[in-house]
Chain A
Amino acid sequence: MSIPREAYQTLQSIVGPEWVSDDPAICEADRYCSLSSPSDEQRRPGCSIEPASTEEVQAIVKVANRYKIPYVCTSTFYSAGTYARKDDSILIDLKRMNEIEIDEKNLYAIVGPGVAFSALQADLLKRGLITFVPGCGGNSSVLANTVNMGDAPIGWRYGLGYQRLLGVEWVLPDGEMLKMGSLSMSDDYFWGEGPGPDLRGLLRGCAGHQSRLGIVTKIGVKIFPFVSEELEPMGWAFHSFMKLPPNRFKWYNIRFYSREDAINAMFEIGRSEIGLVVMTVPPIFRSVARTRGVGCGGFWEAWKENGPKIKPNQEDLRVLLYGIGSDKRLEYEEKVLLDIVKDFGGSPREAPCRDETNFMAADAICANVVGGRFSSEVSYESINQAVRYSRVVNEITEKYKPRILEDYGTTNWVCPYELGYIAKMECLRMSSVENRDALDKWHDDVHKFCATGGGSTIFPEDEIFGPVWGNYPEKEAKIRALFDPNHVSAPQ
């Protein structure tokens, strides 16, 4: 079987023969995505196509509907879950749609799906503006990330991605066009809500619809004023970083020997409305980040030596102070922070005034270098719930050691957003390749706890969570049937 000839020829006429291919090599290269191990569930698409405009996307989707061919889309192919699950699907690769428009005065940018964060960020920094870059790094798509997950450490001040989502241009699963926010009334992306019900919730949910509800072709995103000084890149190869202007930024690493004190300090920092980044730094994250340039061997050498030295109740906070608007503001933030730290008995240490992983790059992918298998549980909670969740995850992990590798009990990351209103909790665990089933069982146990204990996860299984989360799979199915009558938009 393959894509019907007539359909394929129509696709060629839409984008031009250069931008569609059913060559097995082209299709094989679009088969697997980064968040999961290659498996037979991931099917080689029947063809890959690269549209250059919304009109072309719409036309492709209409062809898919006419011939009942499943399709799945990708934006920059970092790939959180992009793959064809059905044979002879159309893989719609949107990276040619990479226009950027920046409205400096009204503080928003309009981007196509092919725009990577690093590209937008670079153009913004030159203008004294900023967007944020998620933990997966500046190589991912602004659009795909914003409609999917959208969390990054500087969300401490700027919130989660979906809150920055403004006007949306959306090709629905059947090829109809939906424009949302002010865009529905005029050619204006400035405002995200209405008219009528706000449909943006359909885009994201726990972790995005993963192209199962059509294709978003353009969005407006909020941007923010930033310092006018240059964040100068320095160093080559894996030594690279961005120099921060010291009159505007200061990093502090603060060690607490009571997790409770660390968390309370975090709340207090939020109440004082200071900082651009505030988060805990699990020692394993620090070691993973330091793996850059030393590889797997270097990581294990350091981890085996440093891991056992971690004190049971140790918690490190990392805070980036930010002189927004003036140097005086930085002085103020520092005074406030040091007062808080003193009150809660922490030991502050100033760190070099540079950034390796927040403004452009990110080091989440380094976790892969550690070797074997790693897996994360991610949830969005209040800080208190995140801490509770973290404790339970640690208890569950103990059951699977040594098949889950030794983490010395401290591997959970609390990364709060919106000055502490909500927190991402990420629990990273590792195993050898042979023991990866231990990780699967660990996930199952954690999810069972979430379902009964009031926790959440961004990767819920319908069977476990459906019954306790208001039968959402049924509702989702109804929405899908309504929007996607031919069942072609990334069918499972």
Chain B
Amino acid sequence: MLKVEEYKHQAETCVRCSYCKFVDLNWVKSSRFSRQCPIDTRYRFNLYSAHGLLHSALAELSGKLEFTPKLMDALWHCTLCGGCDTKCKRNLDVEVLQVIETLRCRCVEQGKGPLPEHKMLADNVKSSHNIYGADPKERLNWLPPDIKPAKKADILYFVGDPMSYRWPELAQATAKILGKAGAKFMVLEDEWSSGHELFATGQLAPAKEMADHNTKAIKDSGAKTVITSDAECYKTLKVDYPKIMEKSTEDMPYTVLHITEYIDQLMQDGKFKFNRRVPMKVTYHDPCNLGRLAEPWYHWEPKYEPPNIAVGKTWRRGEKGVYEPPRNILKGIRGLELIEMERIWDNAWCCGYGGGVGTAFPDFALWTAGERIEEAITTGAEAIVSSCPHCKDILGRAADANNTGIKVYDITEVMLRAIR
């Protein structure tokens, strides 16, 4: 959450150019898929865009505007995908996403938010340390008898709520891939929710509890590297935890890797190879949390010199996302053909689930995912692959809802098929 002065400064720096509504203009390949911001594309009023939200932030701060029904609607429909942020920062120095996140936090502080569906997540986390309110004793139920994590290892596999409780097959795939790659790994006996959705919905107190607990548990485990195959967990551990602790990613007691980064590195070092053909034409969907939002966090105490020089600040402009490792992996699988969609890398269109939207506005999430499915279909691919369980879930539902016939996979499923 930005401090008030900095929040005001950043919101004021917006020049209302609307650049944030479009894919990087050099990357616009058709009028059909030229837009970047899901809320702008669906709801069209300027309020439903970064530009509108930044202006609301200023107006709210100066007492000219309250959290009106429409402001609440726009604010909570925003998927926090960060598309606006990297588009704006192509040309300008504005912390767009941080202003939107801070506006959410202010809404929560004033007791106007979050939405009841989001509040329930915090209640569940409080009672059972996972967002589903499931029995914490069942957290490790995903582990099949043939997978035996190590008691002590340099690598720790952080599973996350979704794969622990909802999609255990993806956790199993991840563990098997690590096993095949010869990686000795541990899991936490007492992993708590990453807190991803609590951060996203401005519920910082319970989110901080999750961060403190998991960070300590990781530190106590002695692991140097945390691997996850859940893009939301990845971003939360790498970005949100240091951010709430007022540190930089590099100062955390662990390094986070997505499974695709880890395997890609082994491939580059000649230590791992996929050995089974997977004859399939696929396209790849960059999850926001693994792509443009995944850059390391750099802690910065605001300090300016005239005219507007942010002294010592390292800007996060979306260039250091995890874009290539998943692609290298897909390209490294024999028989598999990767065909790109129009909006890729930092221009990827959001799946629609993020920012608490999947929880509170499933119809809008499904609409957003439907847009992505349409884009995927135009490539001629038979399947769309992503690296996040929620992307897979919502894209799969959208594909089914529209009877498209396109298949949706998590990258761990494809990787597993490519290993004998």
B227 to chain A, nearest CB (A): 25
**Residue pair A138, B345 in contact (C-beta under 8 Å):** no
Inter-chain CA distance A375–B59, complex, in Å, is 25
**Residue pair B318, A32 in contact (C-beta under 8 Å):** no
Chain A residues in 8 Å Cβ range of B15: 34, 365, 368
**Residue pair A119, B91 in contact (C-beta under 8 Å):** no
**Residue pair B44, A138 in contact (C-beta under 8 Å):** no
Inter-chain CA distance A368–B88, complex, in Å, is 12
Residue among B46, B64, B321, B347 facing the most chain A CB atoms (10 A cut-off) = B46
User: Is A26 part of the contact surface with B, judged by Cβ < 8 Å?
Assistant: yes
User: Is B182 part of the contact surface with A, judged by Cβ < 8 Å?
Assistant: no
Chain B interface size range: 35 or more
A482 to chain B, nearest CB (A): 33
Chain B residues in 8 Å Cβ range of A76: 18
Binds B, one of A239-247, A312-320, A322-330, A443-451: A239-247
Inter-chain CA distance A76–B31, complex, in Å, is 14
Question: Which of B18, B68, B313 contacts A78, CB < 8 Å?
Answer: B18
Binds A, one of B50-58, B353-361, B391-399: B50-58
B308 to chain A, nearest CB (A): 3
**Residue pair A23, B68 in contact (C-beta under 8 Å):** yes
Evaluate whether A239 and B319 lie within 8 angstroms (CB atoms) in the complex, with A29-B52, A296-B307 already known: yes
- Chain A minimum-CB-distance residue to B308: A371
Inter-chain CA distance A126–B211, complex, in Å, is 49
The 8 A CB mask of A105-132 against B (1 = contact, 0 = none) is 0000000000110111111001000000
Which residues, 285 to 311 on B, are CB-close (under 8 Å) to A? 292, 306-311
The 8 A CB mask of A347-381 against B (1 = contact, 0 = none) is 00000000110001111011011111000000000
- Chain A minimum-CB-distance residue to B22: A139
The 8 A CB mask of A140-164 against B (1 = contact, 0 = none) is 0000000000000000000000000
Evaluate whether A369 and B29 lie within 8 angstroms (CB atoms) in the complex, with A26-B70, A236-B319 already known: no
Evaluate whether A365 and B44 lie within 8 angstroms (CB atoms) in the complex, with A28-B64, A137-B25, A372-B307 already known: no
Inter-chain CA distance A360–B293, complex, in Å, is 25
User: Is B213 part of the contact surface with A, judged by Cβ < 8 Å?
Assistant: no
**Residue pair A29, B45 in contact (C-beta under 8 Å):** yes
**Residue pair B307, A432 in contact (C-beta under 8 Å):** yes
Binds B, one of A61-69, A93-101, A470-478: A93-101
- Chain B minimum-CB-distance residue to A22: B70
Chain B residues in 8 Å Cβ range of A233: 24, 26-27, 29
Question: Which of A115, A300, A361 contacts B31, CB < 8 Å?
Answer: A115
User: Is A174 part of the contact surface with B, judged by Cβ < 8 Å?
Assistant: no
**Residue pair B345, A236 in contact (C-beta under 8 Å):** yes
User: Is B224 part of the contact surface with A, judged by Cβ < 8 Å?
Assistant: no
**Residue pair B46, A139 in contact (C-beta under 8 Å):** no
Chain A residues in 8 Å Cβ range of B22: 116, 118, 138-139
Evaluate whether A356 and B26 lie within 8 angstroms (CB atoms) in the complex, with A93-B44, A236-B323, A432-B306 already known: yes
Question: Which of A19, A360, A369 contacts B91, CB < 8 Å?
Answer: A369
Inter-chain CA distance A122–B27, complex, in Å, is 9
Chain B residues in 8 Å Cβ range of A236: 24, 318-319, 321, 323, 345-347
**Residue pair A139, B18 in contact (C-beta under 8 Å):** yes
**Residue pair B25, A369 in contact (C-beta under 8 Å):** no
**Residue pair B86, A79 in contact (C-beta under 8 Å):** no
User: Is B204 part of the contact surface with A, judged by Cβ < 8 Å?
Assistant: no
Inter-chain CA distance A408–B308, complex, in Å, is 21
Chain B residues in 8 Å Cβ range of A137: 17, 19, 25
Evaluate whether A121 and B28 lie within 8 angstroms (CB atoms) in the complex, with A295-B93, A433-B307 already known: yes
User: Is B30 part of the contact surface with A, judged by Cβ < 8 Å?
Assistant: yes
User: Is A293 part of the contact surface with B, judged by Cβ < 8 Å?
Assistant: yes
Evaluate whether A360 and B44 lie within 8 angstroms (CB atoms) in the complex, with A238-B90, A297-B311 already known: no
**Residue pair B59, A28 in contact (C-beta under 8 Å):** yes
User: Is B71 part of the contact surface with A, judged by Cβ < 8 Å?
Assistant: yes
User: Is B74 part of the contact surface with A, judged by Cβ < 8 Å?
Assistant: yes
**Residue pair A361, B25 in contact (C-beta under 8 Å):** yes
Residue among A28, A292, A363 facing the most chain B CB atoms (10 A cut-off) = A28
A56 to chain B, nearest CB (A): 14
Inter-chain CA distance A98–B21, complex, in Å, is 15
**Residue pair B310, A296 in contact (C-beta under 8 Å):** yes
Question: Which of A79, A136, A237 contacts B317, CB < 8 Å?
Answer: A237
User: Is B145 part of the contact surface with A, judged by Cβ < 8 Å?
Assistant: no
Chain A residues in 8 Å Cβ range of B63: none
Residue among B52, B90, B315 facing the most chain A CB atoms (10 A cut-off) = B90
The 8 A CB mask of B298-340 against A (1 = contact, 0 = none) is 0000000011111101010111010100000000000000000
A11 to chain B, nearest CB (A): 14
**Residue pair B16, A77 in contact (C-beta under 8 Å):** yes
Evaluate whether A240 and B70 lie within 8 angstroms (CB atoms) in the complex, with A295-B315, A296-B93, A370-B307 already known: no
**Residue pair A237, B318 in contact (C-beta under 8 Å):** yes
**Residue pair A25, B71 in contact (C-beta under 8 Å):** yes
User: Is B205 part of the contact surface with A, judged by Cβ < 8 Å?
Assistant: no
Question: Which of A19, A360, A368 contacts B26, CB < 8 Å?
Answer: A360
**Residue pair A119, B56 in contact (C-beta under 8 Å):** no
- Chain B minimum-CB-distance residue to A234: B26
Question: Which of B34, B65, B92, B345 contacts A368, CB < 8 Å?
Answer: B92
Chain A residues in 8 Å Cβ range of B311: 297
- Chain B minimum-CB-distance residue to A95: B44
User: Is A486 part of the contact surface with B, judged by Cβ < 8 Å?
Assistant: no
**Residue pair A29, B47 in contact (C-beta under 8 Å):** yes
B377 to chain A, nearest CB (A): 18
B32 to chain A, nearest CB (A): 8
Inter-chain CA distance A304–B126, complex, in Å, is 55
Please name the 7 residue pairs, one residue from A and one from B, whose CB atoms are nearest each other, closest first: A371-B308, A372-B307, A371-B307, A119-B31, A29-B52, A25-B71, A23-B70
- In addition to A138-B28, A355-B26, A370-B307, 12 A-B residue pairs with Cβ atoms within 8 Å of each other are A21-B45, A26-B45, A26-B70, A34-B18, A119-B28, A122-B28, A236-B345, A236-B346, A292-B91, A296-B307, A297-B313, A372-B308
Q: Could you write out 16 A-B pairs with CB less than 8 Å apart?
A: A23-B68, A23-B69, A26-B46, A29-B52, A30-B47, A34-B17, A77-B16, A79-B16, A138-B25, A237-B86, A292-B91, A296-B93, A363-B91, A366-B92, A368-B15, A430-B307
